[in-house]
Amino acid sequence: MHTGGVGNWNDITDIATRQHGIVDRRGFERVGVAASTVKSWVQRGLLERVVAGVWRVVGVPVTWEQQLVAALLYLGDAAVVSHEAAAQLHGFDRTPPDRVELLVPIDARKRRLPFGRVHTTGHLPRIDRVRVAGWPVTSATRTVLDLAMQRPERVRLEGAIDSAIRSRASAPEVLQRRLADLRGPGRWGCRLVDELTLDAGGETLLERRFLTLLRTNGLPRPTTQRWFAVEGRTIGRADFTYEELRIVVEVSGGRGHSTPAERAKDAQRRNELQDLGWRVFEYTWDDVTRRPAYVVRTMRDRLVSTPCRDG
């Protein structure tokens, strides 16, 4: 057994460096540090207890990542980062920052944290567990569904769904399939997820609003986010396409691309798409949100009047 000298302390700081300043009981045991030595280091102000069996090296700043490490070490190997904390790791839009939330099996011995929230579940299969930047996290799909059960604001859940689909970490059909698997009493958010996945697949809130406008007015849904290339060179990605009609539709925010370089790039992409035989149309934020009747009328006209290509 080590005696807790300088060498032992160096071993502990090496572990803490890899764990955002955190060491747990298992870390001390791996390098042979006795409980009495840990107690001595606490009394000397080198360590401070975060939660039972988990300590922080004094002087290391308290961070969100440090709290996640401490929570995971305390709750055990079955725990995963979940809900808004998982949403932050996945990079979901409109995520409140630095929430500490974890998910553990319903029969877990530890269910409480002094600095975060612990959720329980009776169903956490391997498909719902992934690693993001080294963290054990609920999958993007499971994270969306868990968030839905917390009764968030509609716009919050829209952001989560669209982010998961935009990043290709999930897809509408995957969300629907996992939703069907997890449906049951008390799953309040199922209906809302059902509704919001109807218009998922865009990159932005404006693209979602455009898809909703089409659907609610009986217009066909386009393909979303198609990449175009010619002779091995990428032209760019279009917001929406109608393949058979050779139509591209773009939607742009209030200001759009305002620099000369951005406008030149947009013009080149439009010209190249037209050279390939595509008709390119654009709607602005004001068109979609303030003049929806204009958008619906012109889209209907374009979808009906576009001639079929020979051959």
Is residue 142 one of the residues assigned to a domain? yes
Closest CA to 13 of 54, 53, 60: 60
pLDDT in tens, 115-151: 999 999 998 999 999 999 999 999 999 999 999 988 8
Asked if 270 and 260 touch (Cβ cutoff 8 Å), the reply is no
Q: Take residue 252 and report the two structure tokens written for it.
A: 């742009």
Closest CA to 96 of 106, 81, 85: 85
Asked if 86 and 100 touch (Cβ cutoff 8 Å), the reply is no
Distance CA 14, CA 74 (A): 19
Closest CA to 53 of 30, 19, 76: 76
Is residue 248 one of the residues assigned to a domain? yes
Is residue 222 one of the residues assigned to a domain? yes
pLDDT in tens, 189-241: 677 888 888 888 777 889 999 999 999 999 999 998 889 988 888 888 899 99
Q: How high is the pLDDT of residue 176? A: 83
Answer yes or no: do 76 and 155 share one domain: yes
Last residue of a domain, one of 197, 221, 245: 197
The pLDDT confidence band at residue 306, using thresholds 50, 70 and 90, is: low
* Residue at 30: amino acid letter: R
Closest CA to 53 of 131, 136, 113, 8: 113
Is residue 1 one of the residues assigned to a domain? no
Closest CA to 293 of 228, 227, 213: 213
Q: Which of 38-47, 83-92, 220-229, 286-295 has the lowest mean pLDDT?
A: 220-229
Residue 194: half-sphere exposure toward Cβ, Cα within 13 Å: 8
Q: What is the DSSP letter of 128?
A: G
Mean pLDDT along residues 19-32: 95
Q: Give the list of residues 6+ apart from residue 230 with CB closer than 8 angstroms, or none.
A: 272, 276
For residue 265, what are the domain limits? Answer: 205-305
Answer yes or no: do 118 and 163 share one domain: yes
Residue 23: half-sphere exposure toward Cβ, Cα within 13 Å: 28
Asked if 193 and 155 touch (Cβ cutoff 8 Å), the reply is no
Closest CA to 143 of 93, 184, 108: 93
Last residue of a domain, one of 169, 197, 225: 197
